[in-house]
Amino acid sequence: MPACCGRLLMRTIFDLDAICSHGALCWQRNSPFVTHRVSSILRELPFARDIMDEEQQLEILSPVTDLGFVRILLADLHDELPSKVARFRQLADLSTSLGANGTMFTGGETTYLAWTEARSSFVHGNYIATVMLCQGLAEHLLASYLELGIDGEQLPPRVKFPITLERCLSRGIIVDADVKDLHRLMKLRNPLSHYRNIDDPSNLTHRALENQSPAADHVRGDASFALSVAVRLLSLPAFRVDK
C-alpha cells in the first residue's frame, strides 16, 4: 500500500478514536459533529482508493480491496453509531451492580467468552446472538459453580438446565425470582435455536404478527432482558468480588 494511503488510514483511525471519546457530549447537545466528521472521513476514502492500482489489489477469491472493506466497515459504524452508543450506555448502567473488584467466572474460558461476546453482540445490535450467549453463560456459570470446591456436586455428563436451577435454588445460590427469569430466558432462547413453525406462539414471526409490531422490536427487548439477567447472575454474592 502506498505511504500516502497508509497515512490516510492511520488518520482515519485517530479521527474515529476522537469521535468515540467526544461523542457522548455531542449527542447530549444534539450536535451534528459526529455525523459530519465521519461523513468527511468517508468522502476522503475514495480519493485514497483511486491512488491505488486496482488491478494490483485484486485477490484470488475477492475483487474487493482491503481499503474497500475499510470503507464498508466505516459506513456501518457511521450508520449505527448513535444507537450503538445508547446500547453501550445501557450496558454500562447495568454493569454498575457488578463486584467492585471484579467477577469470578466459573466454567473457564467458555463462560468468560460468552460474557464478552454477549456484551459486544448487544452493543452492535446482534440481538439473537445476545439471547443465545446469555443463556449459554447462565448454564455454564451455574452448573460449574455447583461442581466447585470441596462441597462440589457430581453433575450428570449433560445436565439439563432445569436440574441445574433446582440444585442452585436448594443451595441458596439463586432465589425464586432468579429461577423465574432464567426459565423465561430459556423459553426465549429455545425457539431461536430449535425450529418452531409459525403456528407456535414462541415463533418470532408469530409474535410479530400477533402484536402487530416489527420482529426487530421483539428481539431487541428479548436481548435487553437477557443481558439484564446475565448481569444479575454475575452480581450475585457467589460470583462478585468486592475485596
Per-chain mean pLDDT for the chain? 81
**3-state DSSP call for residue 63?**
coil
Q: For position 62, what pLDDT does the model report?
A: 64
CA-nearest of 150, 238, 140 to 182 is: 140
The one-letter amino acid at 187: K
CB within 8 A of 159, min separation 6: which ones? 143
Per-residue pLDDT of 183-226, as tens digits, reads 999 999 999 999 999 999 999 999 999 999 999 999 999 999 99
Between 169 and 66, whose confidence is greater? 169
Question: Which three cell numbers, joined as nine digits, stand for 97?
Answer: 451492580
Per-residue pLDDT of 107-128, as tens digits, reads 999 999 999 999 999 999 999 9
CA-nearest of 173, 172, 142, 169 to 155 is: 142
Helix-helix angle 127-146:161-170, to 10 degrees: 50
Question: Which three cell numbers, joined as nine digits, stand for 150?
Answer: 470441596
Question: Which three cell numbers, joined as nine digits, stand for 38?
Answer: 465521519
Q: What is the DSSP string of 101-141?
A: T-B--TTHHHHHHHHHHHHHHHHTT-HHHHHHHHHHHHHHH
CB within 8 A of 205, min separation 6: which ones? 198, 215
Chain centroid to Cα 2, Å, comes to 36
Helix-helix angle 108-123:215-234, to 10 degrees: 140
